[in-house]
Structure 1
């Protein structure tokens, strides 16, 4: 591990790119997920007062709940829109420019949030949440692709996991700023919701000093001098001709292949197992039960004797646990491997869910059982943050070749946001009907994903996308051979030839 830290320290521009891209990228995603919990009572009060003054109508509880649910879930709609638009925008404008332009969406949303209380308009919060969702959906793809393409191959896993680290940092930031000692008050909550605008300004003031993705400059724009200049700025004034030649070899292998659409990616039989991997991993990311565990944590903490006014600080503990584990994952991922962490993480989560279901069932019968449940909650968060949280986001950029990357991220982000929206809509029903036995549903997804990744996905560490494509072919050659036509075989032989040259 020290050698990887040394390699990263030798690339200060890559470190700067991690922070500049992250603070205006997936930090926004994590922050927007957690920030609505603290000011919920104040926002509902604004909705009631607005309707009373504007329409002379006092809302019933179910009406207020409906408006609140829409206000929360519209963020997922915006995220889905941003994820769908990401592919074409990233291919057209580039990774860095998309990140920069995306900040103006967040700033517009932040202005609406800050002015909502003064204007007595909860609709401004809805529009702001929609804009935040678009910003997060686009930023999730743009940041991940930008960092994976800017990082040296040996550091790609370590740099890619920072995407998850900034999500965890955003969640913890939303929890921390939401306490009453900071911005979680009746007077200051609009500034809490508008904090995304300040982080967007930070990215706007730092990211312009960093170069565009070298891969985008060479493979999409065909600008070799700009690519070499970007590599020197990112990796130091060394001879990077081998890296350029490696990317050129990929360009030669794919020279007749334009940037592909989502439909073309799905229909390409040579990409079948890469597609299945994306569907399984990103489907499980939202259906693994992490949101359910956070939801039940308050009941567990109450049963363990924590006073109601101290629950917010206990919630800070869960966010801090995820953040610290994500940082630890950053330190070990190059040694352990991304696929290993993914499979172990999901299997560990599945085992923990079984034990958590048992302890929740017994906590009304045995006095010390709530403490076991509390420990299991932190263990579950540990397994999630040590694998799926950090290793999932960069995966499409590693297992897909350049022509398919943007389409792959469009699929991945669409699955992520759709899963988050569906879970938000059906989770209250699951809790009402099944109570803590709803964990058994999440147990299924954790088990399936963990076993699938373990036996069907090759390790991506220190491999190019073309090498990974060959490894997918080798692992599944028996099932694929009868379905690959002659032209497809010729394309794969081209990849094999390139791989031997490396």
Structure 2
């Protein structure tokens, strides 16, 4: 297919400002609160055990249950406390996986919020939910009720779902075609900056202590407040203004402000063609939530987009995000060096996120995903081998090889899978189906996240080091599907992508 040449396009300060503001209180905050409990995990688990102990001490003194929760632990017994205390392991799994449950709830309500309040209004509502969840999480040490932490993270997960989808759509719709791939990685860059901040502040010499870890949770509200202050200075999406509200003058003013250039007629013409197609019935009204699965063509696109997202979530990423410190401890590092290894891992993530920004529009989405998946399979396979050598055969150098292989896996994960799987649906679905499609992609992502984050601690008890081979198998199967189904959309406008997809669908 011939791709129409497009004029040179460059990033502007206004475009960069709008994209960063939209992702600061959404993706950056999501990265922060998802990783906030990673480094101080041992102190949080000890605190939960203390809360349960106080509930048992008045009426179960010296019983087996009382000893389980209140008995003193040696350093070795403390490292195995999740294995020996099934209820404690379950509580910890729920605390981590409840975020994804909130994401699922928000996914089904996203389209309703979008229709009623628009993109920016939805982000404001989600911010209120996040601030409430942050307040509950900050109060847990004062009231000694760990259930507040679960409710708080549920509310934060709900907010993450609303704002995450909204921010991705917003960035995609304000960005010109030639920059869409690079700017599509901004949410992931913000996410890893949140990871880095949480891990750095969670170090033992800062807030990762027995007394100060609740402060780490309270700080997650700061970027949300900053975003709410700056968001009024960002314009509405020009596509939303033109296609949904019919405000052509407003769309033109917004494009001129974003591009810092009055020559925006090509973009307006593309929107006008899409509007005319919609008026002629070639593009229908907004697709309802379940309409994605009733239309054969939309099901076809959903299948293409679902595979990269499923691979992303079942690649081991969720487990590394929540449990990296404990994984490194299991590999043989002490608590402090495990925290340093986690921090270095997120630095690798940040570095390769920035590298991928320059590569995705040059190499293309398909090539980036295949490259990413191949590297992830190698990295996770090596990690399994070195974990076996370190654990079962007590090979001392293998623990450092474990760190290196996780870094290798993270580098390739970041190169393609982390970002392409998110902005691919916003490119491939037509305008009228985009909201419903992003909803279902988010549901898929969250459902996979719930499964992996909840089941991982339980599977490790059974499969131990070989748990990670399950991720390798999923990546391999997903790669085969991508080779056979995913077309390359590099450099194409949204209407050109639709023509290509319809041609492939008819074949």
Q: Fold conserved (TM > 0.5)?
A: yes
Deviation at 1:66, TM superposition (A): 3.1
Q: Is the 8 A contact 1:265 1:408 kept in 2?
A: yes
Q: Is the 8 A contact 1:266 1:272 kept in 2?
A: yes
Which residue in the other structure is 1:460 paired with? 489
For residues 457 and 93 of structure 2, the distance between their equivalents in structure 1, rounded to whole angstroms, comes to: 11
For residues 426 and 120 of structure 1, the distance between their equivalents in structure 2, rounded to whole angstroms, comes to: 26
Q: Give the 3 Å change call, closer, same or farther, for CA 370–460 of structure 1 in structure 2.
A: same
Q: Is the 8 A contact 1:345 1:388 kept in 2?
A: yes
Question: Which 10-residue stretch deviates more, 80-89 or 196-205?
Answer: 80-89
Which residue in the other structure is 1:139 paired with? 163
Q: Give the 3 Å change call, closer, same or farther, for CA 80–331 of structure 1 in structure 2.
A: same
Match of 1:73 among 90, 97, 121: 97
| 1:358 corresponds to 2:385 | yes
Deviation at 1:476, TM superposition (A): 4.4
Match of 1:320 among 321, 344, 347: 347
Q: Give the TM-score of the pair, scaled to structure 1.
A: 0.88
Q: Give the 3 Å change call, closer, same or farther, for CA 272–125 of structure 1 in structure 2.
A: closer
Question: Which 10-residue stretch deviates more, 173-182 or 288-297?
Answer: 288-297
SS of corresponding position for 1:460: coil
SS of corresponding position for 1:392: helix
For residues 168 and 104 of structure 1, the distance between their equivalents in structure 2, rounded to whole angstroms, comes to: 23
Q: Give the TM-score of the pair, scaled to structure 2.
A: 0.87
Match of 1:283 among 292, 297, 310: 310
| 1:121 corresponds to 2:145 | yes
Which residue in the other structure is 1:482 paired with? none
Unaligned runs of 5+ in 1: 479-502
For residues 229 and 366 of structure 1, the distance between their equivalents in structure 2, rounded to whole angstroms, comes to: 64
SS of corresponding position for 2:290: helix
Deviation at 1:310, TM superposition (A): 2.2
Which residue in the other structure is 2:110 paired with? 86
Unaligned runs of 5+ in 2: 1-5, 60-65, 70-84
Deviations 1:330-388 (A, max 9, x none): 12222122221112101221233333333333442755444433322111000001111
Match of 1:62 among 86, 90, 94: 86
SS of corresponding position for 2:263: coil
SS of corresponding position for 1:461: coil
Q: Size of the alignment, in residue pairs?
A: 473
Question: Which 10-residue stretch deviates more, 195-204 or 428-437?
Answer: 428-437
| 1:251 corresponds to 2:280 | no
| 1:469 corresponds to 2:498 | yes
| 1:27 corresponds to 2:61 | no
Which residue in the other structure is 2:81 paired with? none
| 1:379 corresponds to 2:379 | no
Match of 1:177 among 191, 201, 225: 201
Which residue in the other structure is 1:346 paired with? 373
| 1:189 corresponds to 2:213 | yes
Q: Give the 3 Å change call, closer, same or farther, for CA 67–212 of structure 1 in structure 2.
A: same
Q: Is the 8 A contact 2:305 2:425 kept in 1?
A: yes
Question: Which 10-residue stretch deviates more, 147-156 or 93-102?
Answer: 93-102
Deviations 1:108-145 (A, max 9, x none): 11222222222333232222111110011111101100
Deviation at 1:307, TM superposition (A): 4.0
| 1:273 corresponds to 2:300 | yes
Which residue in the other structure is 2:260 paired with? 236
Question: Which 10-residue stretch deviates more, 305-314 or 289-298?
Answer: 289-298
Match of 1:107 among 125, 128, 131: 131
Q: Give the 3 Å change call, closer, same or farther, for CA 192–443 of structure 1 in structure 2.
A: same
Q: Is the 8 A contact 1:343 1:451 kept in 2?
A: no
SS of corresponding position for 2:216: helix
For residues 26 and 296 of structure 1, the distance between their equivalents in structure 2, rounded to whole angstroms, comes to: 20
Deviation at 1:284, TM superposition (A): 1.4
| 1:310 corresponds to 2:337 | yes
Deviation at 1:311, TM superposition (A): 1.8
SS of corresponding position for 1:262: coil
SS of corresponding position for 1:200: helix
| 1:40 corresponds to 2:67 | no
Deviations 1:165-220 (A, max 9, x none): 11211222211111122222333322211222111001011111010111111111
Which residue in the other structure is 1:438 paired with? 467
Deviation at 1:251, TM superposition (A): 1.7
Q: Give the 3 Å change call, closer, same or farther, for CA 156–310 of structure 1 in structure 2.
A: same
Q: Is the 8 A contact 1:177 1:184 kept in 2?
A: yes
For residues 22 and 210 of structure 2, the distance between their equivalents in structure 1, rounded to whole angstroms, comes to: 32
Q: Is the 8 A contact 1:8 1:15 kept in 2?
A: no
Q: Give the 3 Å change call, closer, same or farther, for CA 251–448 of structure 1 in structure 2.
A: farther
Deviations 1:259-278 (A, max 9, x none): 10231111211223311012
Q: Give the 3 Å change call, closer, same or farther, for CA 355–37 of structure 1 in structure 2.
A: closer
Which residue in the other structure is 1:494 paired with? none
Q: Is the 8 A contact 2:38 2:325 kept in 1?
A: no
For residues 410 and 396 of structure 1, the distance between their equivalents in structure 2, rounded to whole angstroms, comes to: 10
For residues 179 and 200 of structure 1, the distance between their equivalents in structure 2, rounded to whole angstroms, comes to: 23
Q: Give the 3 Å change call, closer, same or farther, for CA 219–279 of structure 1 in structure 2.
A: same
For residues 322 and 96 of structure 2, the distance between their equivalents in structure 1, rounded to whole angstroms, comes to: 15
Which residue in the other structure is 2:173 paired with? 149
CA RMSD, 1 decimal: 2.5
